[in-house]
């Protein structure tokens, strides 16, 4: 069973251990540099809100993390979604997704929640599709090292 709460500074070290590879961290956020550090997370929060952690009630372990950004009235974006390797496939991601959807709708009046999922993240694309997110666009971005990445822009109606 899981619960959620606001991010605390003491959570940062645990979250930094979630991404196991450079590619996995790229899925979390293209501006992050592997290995993830607490300073990178804090810097990313300068333009984000509702940083949220999911906690496994039995062990007290942090199981997942995400935040929201770009609130434009009735829309906003879900970002930096990451689940602890120990909790993948155990419901933590689903719990986090529903918690973030509820926060967006109830706290900010969001009617449509958007997210970006990289084309190479087939597990993420399948997960979001399973939870009724639908693609609406593709975005091609250039990374600092010159590589290009394609992200699938997805959305869900929260009404």
* Fold (topology level) of 2-157: Aminopeptidase (3.40.630)
In sequence order, the β-bridge partners of residue 155 are 114, 134
1-46 residue pLDDT tens? 999 999 999 999 999 999 999 999 999 999 999 999 999 999 999 9
User: Which alpha helices (DSSP H) does the chain contain, by range?
Assistant: 12-16, 22-28, 38-44, 92-108, 122-130
Position 155 confidence tier, pLDDT thresholds 50, 70, 90: very high
What are φ and ψ of residue 118, in 5° steps?
-65, 145
What distance in Å separates the CA atoms of residue 108 and residue 135, rounded to the nearest whole number?
23
What does the pLDDT read at residue 158?
98
Q: State the burial class of residue 32 (Cβ atoms within 10 Å of its Cβ: 0-12, 13-18, 19+).
A: buried
Structural domain boundaries in the chain: 2-157
What does the pLDDT read at residue 144?
84
Position 69 confidence tier, pLDDT thresholds 50, 70, 90: very high
Tokens 């929201």 sit at which residue?
68
């Amino acid at each position: 069973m899981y619960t959620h709460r606001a991010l605390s500074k003491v959570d940062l070290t645990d979250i930094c251990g979630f991404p196991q590879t450079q590619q996995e961290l790229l899925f979390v956020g293209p501006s992050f540099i592997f290995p993830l550090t607490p300073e990178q997370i804090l810097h990313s929060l300068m333009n984000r809100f509702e940083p949220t952690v999911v906690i496994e009630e039995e062990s007290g372990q942090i199981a997942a993390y995400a935040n929201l950004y770009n609130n434009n009235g009735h829309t906003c974006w879900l970002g930096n979604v990451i689940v602890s390797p120990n909790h993948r496939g155990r419901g933590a991601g689903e719990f986090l997704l529903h918690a973030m959807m509820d926060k967006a709708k109830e706290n900010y009046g969001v009617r449509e929640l958007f997210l970006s999922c990289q084309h190479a993240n087939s597990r993420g694309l399948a997960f979001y599709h399973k939870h009724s997110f639908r693609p609406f666009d593709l975005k091609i971005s250039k990374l600092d090292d010159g590589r290009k990445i394609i992200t699938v822009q997805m959305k869900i109606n929260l009404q």
